[in-house]
Structure 1
Amino acid sequence: MLVLISGLNKALESRIKLGIMSALAVNDQLDFNSLKELLDVTDGNLATHLKSLEKEAFIDVQKSFVGRKPNTQYFMTQAGKKAFGDHLDALERLIKSQK
């Protein structure tokens, strides 16, 4: 069984991190509030997972202002796209092996 799960990325095991990466895979970028609403999580929970993914260099941040309000946009890096794709491939192999 170890061989089957060897391609899974430990950094993407959390459902929230996987949700963030999934959302960013189909959107060029999303702001904090959009991710929070989409994933139905608290500010603190989302911020913690975003910081973790940023530390892994899987996502990056672009901060700006809309009028006087700060706006933080998140997007997936090339390293993040590769890690996410590899993780999905490993999940597919695991699922197919169970047939």
Structure 2
Amino acid sequence: MLDPVIHAQARLRIMATLAALAKGDELSFPRLRSTLDMTAGNLSTHLSKLEGAGYVRINKTFRGRTPATYLSLTTQGRRAFEDYVVQLRAMLG
């Protein structure tokens, strides 16, 4: 069965984008928002769901005096996405 947390279209796009990063790399929130052409609120909602599942790490920090948010997949998230892709390919034949 496909993971329902990942299967939602917006969350699948987030996971696929973050999975393309090298392990240990992070992507800034504005860059992810721009890449996926999502509103900040919509992206935040889906990231919260993925973070709650343990799939995404949200790193809030400062760049100088400006707040900055960086995102990456956790080890669990990377494994879940890889399993999702395997299951999807098996379903497609």
TM (normalized to structure 2)?
Answer: 0.92
For residues 9 and 31 of structure 2, the distance between their equivalents in structure 1, rounded to whole angstroms, comes to 17
Q: Distance in 2 between matches of 1:86 and 1:9?
A: 9
Shift of 1:13: 1.2
Question: In structure 2, which of residues 52, 58, 61 is the aligned counterpart of residue 55 of structure 1?
Answer: 52
Q: Which runs of 4+ in 1 moved over 6 A?
A: none
Match of 1:15 among 9, 16, 23: 9
Could you list the runs of 5+ residues in structure 1 that have no partner in the other structure? 1-5
How many residues matched? 90
Could you tell me how far 1:34 is from its partner in structure 2?
A: 0.7
**Bigger relative contact order, structure 1 or 2, given CA contacts below 8 A and separation 6+?**
1
Structure of greater Rg: 1
1:3 corresponds to: none
Q: Report the identity percentage.
A: 37
TM-score where L is the length of structure 1: 0.87
Aligned match for 2:67, one of 65, 70, 78: 70
